[in-house]
Amino acid sequence: MSESQRAQLAGDAVTGDGTTSGITDDGTADVVILGAGPAGLVLGNLLLASGIDCVVLERADRAHVQTRARAGYLAANTVRILEEHGLAEGLRRGGVPHAVCEFRSGDGRFRLDYGSIGPAGAHTVYPQQELVTDLLTHYLDAGGRLEFETEAVAVLDADGTRPSVVVRTADGEGQGRNGRWRGRYVAGCDGRHGAARRSLPAGVVRHHRDHGVTWLGLLAEAPPSLDAVGYAVHRRGFAGHMARTSEVTRYYLQIERGGPADAWSEQRIWDELALRMRAADYGPLRRGPIVQRAVVDLESDVLEPLRRGSLFLVGDAASLLSPSAAKGANLAVLEAEILARALVDDLAHGNPEGLDRYSARCLEHIWRAQEFSHWMIQLLHSPPGPADGETLFHDALARSRLETLRTSRTHQQWFAEGYVGV
């Protein structure tokens, strides 16, 4: 995208020499962070603790950020990062260790105690909105600058040494106002539809895969039905069970693509979950009201490189992982730590080496996580549509994979390392 196109996107007047007018300067910071999700808030906290001047710009309001229910399985490495930086108080109190998954299929069921098999350890279950609330509170209490209801529209001059971020802020009457934040660096932690991605030039490569599979993601006000993550492989489609708290459980149901989220009645959802999870054989599901539902088309992508001049991509902005292996938030935290160290080295010690290596280092982790998630997708899902030769071949392979996982210690160790490792 050209400079003038980006400025137009921002709703500016563009002058003859390509500069922008009609926007006011709101402020400066050495690092301007876009987005207050796990990536942006870990980065903000780490920079603040090292005395680096930064600001976080967030499109939503505080209540929205603190109540958005998303992932909840924190890898041991994520907990280590949070603990090392004094950000783990809440999760130490409220997090629940989790180390077992249970696979169910037409061939029976088996449990895998991945936490004690692999070198990567167990998960800690801690709802993401609580983690985000902790990170936000810690950052603000430490004096961090954060602007809510401030949407980044475009990043300008990313190739120069003085990039700026054009923002739109709400004025309370739905009108909005254009402003601009200037920085030395910009960290794009604003997700897959954010301004950081939109501001990249055409040359940046986006590796993309649509897995052709759709999930109905559900949050039920119901206690967990089993003391493990449940993965049910069924010819009618995948069903998943993930505990959140003692009163709330997340379920997933593979559905036909294109159907609206409200096409399924609660009764039908519970009946289908029970059928695919083989509740008649392994115990009933504990039912309760469905309080949230969303349709998710399983997609993955990776942007390459993750740096454009002064602009760095972090978390979902860098790479989208399908939710099958619950790795998105863990990678986001890891990348934020890598970028924080590199920015401190550069801004406080004049050493740019870490920034130069940021993209390559993160891409190594991202592709490993992508590979594992892709394997999980192949394992868990039946291709949609009628059972033709290809579908039957796929299903037979998946059965064989499950059987190998059930019987081979080597495979179990590989699974345990890939499942929790980042």
d(CA 35, CA 64): 13
d(CA 98, CA 115): 8
* Dihedral, CA of residue 315, residue 319, residue 324 and residue 325, to nearest 10: -60
Residue 39 makes contact with ligand APR by CB under 6 A: yes
Residue 58 makes contact with ligand APR by CB under 6 A: yes
Name the segment binding ligand APR (CB under 6 A); options: 33-41, 114-122, 358-366, 405-413.
Answer: 33-41
**Closest CB to ligand APR among 105 and 144?**
144
Residue 338 makes contact with ligand APR by CB under 6 A: no
With CB under 6 A as the contact rule, the residue among 121, 188, 191, 237 that binds ligand APR is 191
**Contact set for ligand APR, span 138-157 (CB under 6 A):** 151-152
With CB under 6 A as the contact rule, the residue among 237, 328, 354, 421 that binds ligand APR is 328
Is 252 a residue of the active site? no
Task: For residue 414, give the nearest of 112, 125, 123 by alpha carbon.
Answer: 112
Residue 36 makes contact with ligand APR by CB under 6 A: yes
Is 323 a residue of the active site? yes
185 DSSP β-pair partners:
31
Task: For residue 415, give the nearest of 2, 119, 22, 106 by alpha carbon.
Answer: 119
Instruction: Given the residues 38, 73, 98, 123, select the one marked as catalytic.
Output: 98
Ordered DSSP codes for 292-356: EEEEEEEEEEEEE-SEETTEEE-GGGTEE--GGG--HHHHHHHHHHHHHHHHHHHHHH---HHHH
Residue 163 makes contact with ligand APR by CB under 6 A: no
Is 381 a residue of the active site? no
Is 384 a residue of the active site? no
Is 211 a residue of the active site? no
* Dihedral, CA of residue 383, residue 389, residue 395 and residue 398, to nearest 10: -110
Q: In whole angstroms, how close is the CB of 190 to ligand APR at the nearest point?
A: 4
Positions annotated as catalytic residues are: 98, 231, 323, 327, 419
Q: Which residues bind ligand APR (CB under 6 A)?
A: 34-40, 57-60, 65, 70-71, 128, 151-152, 189-191, 194-195, 315-316, 328-329, 332
